[in-house]
């Protein structure tokens, strides 16, 4: 469904450009400050040597803030004091969010493994629609919403002896909603300050090995299921073309 929303959003750009009212394409760049919020992981694992040892656990991920770069392009159209537009963007790799020393145990309390987990976005692309209005000739407010597509890399390692680190990559769809302030400087420069709440579908990794014992290729296998959410503030500058 989110793929269709993305394509529908992008199809609005040529419709806006042919609507017969003043409008502009633009390109720009920005700085994004982001912070994970309510992000967590579910874990299911099994000891290959003792198949009855199947552990489960849930934990919150770290919530450290980070900054990353962003490139964007779009089209905006103005009717008197009303603003409508569409934008596509790409963001660079961000920092790892993690949980340390997570004990994964069977329902009766038998410890299967103590592990650490790292989750990181390798890249993000997205498309948003914007709708708002100007309260002066050069300053306005708008609401925005759209879809995200990111590649997440999930790594796991055992805290005990015989630890190995293994990782998987997952392409995941999400959504973003928010709003911002827009300002015009001269005839060609546009400044924006925008807040966004980003939410991704929970996804499952393929089995990840976290530990082995002598003579065994695999010992502890883990399926990690992250649920990632972020709050972000983007400061950007664009040039109308």
The whole-angstrom separation of Cα 74 and Cα 127 is 9
pLDDT of residue 215: 46
In the chain, where the domains are located: 2-240
Rounded percentage of the chain residues whose pLDDT exceeds 90: 51
Mean pLDDT, residues 50-62: 85
Q: Identify which has the larger pLDDT, 44 or 21.
A: 44
45 closest CA partner among 225, 220, 227, 219: 220
Task: Look at residue 42 and tell me whether its pLDDT is greater than 50.
Answer: yes
Is CATH 2.40.160.20 the classification given to domain 2-240? yes
Half-sphere exposure of 210 (CA within 13 A, CB side): 30
Q: Using one digit for the tens of pLDDT, what is the confidence trace for 12-35? A: 444 444 444 457 899 999 999 999
The whole-angstrom separation of Cα 53 and Cα 47 is 6
pLDDT of residue 165: 75
* Cα dihedral 70, 229, 4, 144 sign: negative
pTM comes to 0.83
Mean pLDDT, residues 207-213: 71
Q: Identify which has the larger pLDDT, 131 or 67.
A: 131
Mean pLDDT, residues 123-144: 96
pLDDT of residue 16: 47
Task: Give the pLDDT band of residue 63 (cuts 50, 70, 90).
Answer: confident
In the chain, the DSSP E strands lie at: 23-36, 40-47, 50-60, 66-79, 82-91, 97-105, 111-134, 139-158, 165-185, 189-200, 208-211, 220-227, 229-240
Task: Look at residue 146 and tell me whether its pLDDT is greater than 50.
Answer: yes
pLDDT of residue 15: 47
pLDDT of residue 19: 45
Q: Identify which has the larger pLDDT, 160 or 150.
A: 150
Task: Look at residue 9 and tell me whether its pLDDT is greater than 60.
Answer: no
Local structure of 17: helix, strand or coil? helix
Q: Using one digit for the tens of pLDDT, what is the confidence trace for 170-187? A: 999 999 999 999 999 988
pLDDT of residue 21: 44
pLDDT of residue 164: 66
Task: Look at residue 219 and tell me whether its pLDDT is greater than 80.
Answer: no
Q: Identify which has the larger pLDDT, 238 or 163.
A: 238
Q: Using one digit for the tens of pLDDT, what is the confidence trace for 75-103? A: 999 888 899 999 999 998 787 888 888 88
| 150, 124 Cβ separation under 8 angstroms | yes
Mean pLDDT, residues 104-112: 85
């Amino acid at each position: 469904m989110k793929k269709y929303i993305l394509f529908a959003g992008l199809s609005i750009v040529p419709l806006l450009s042919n609507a017969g009212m003043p409008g502009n394409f633009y390109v720009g760049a920005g700085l994004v400050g982001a912070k994970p919020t309510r992000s967590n992981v579910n874990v299911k694992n099994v000891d290959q040597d003792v198949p009855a040892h199947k552990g489960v656990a849930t934990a919150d991920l770290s919530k450290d803030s980070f900054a990353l770069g962003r490139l964007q392009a779009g089209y905006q159209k103005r009717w008197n004091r009303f603003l409508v537009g569409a934008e596509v963007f790409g963001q660079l790799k961000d920092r790892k969010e993690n949980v340390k020393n997570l004990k994964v145990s069977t329902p009766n309390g038998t410890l299967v493994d103590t592990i650490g987990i790292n989750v990181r976005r390798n890249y993000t692309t997205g498309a948003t629609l914007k709708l708002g209005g100007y309260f002066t000739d050069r300053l306005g407010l708008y609401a925005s919403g759209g879809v995200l597509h990111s590649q997440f890399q999930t790594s796991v390692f055992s805290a005990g002896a015989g630890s190995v680190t293994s990782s998987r990559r997952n392409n995941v769809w999400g959504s973003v909603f928010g709003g911002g302030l827009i300002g015009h400087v001269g005839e060609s420069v546009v400044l924006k300050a925008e807040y966004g709440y980003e939410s991704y579908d929970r996804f499952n990794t393929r089995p990840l090995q976290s530990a082995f014992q002598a003579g065994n290729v695999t010992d502890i296998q883990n399926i990690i299921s992250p649920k990632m959410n972020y709050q972000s503030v983007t400061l950007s500058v664009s040039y109308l073309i």
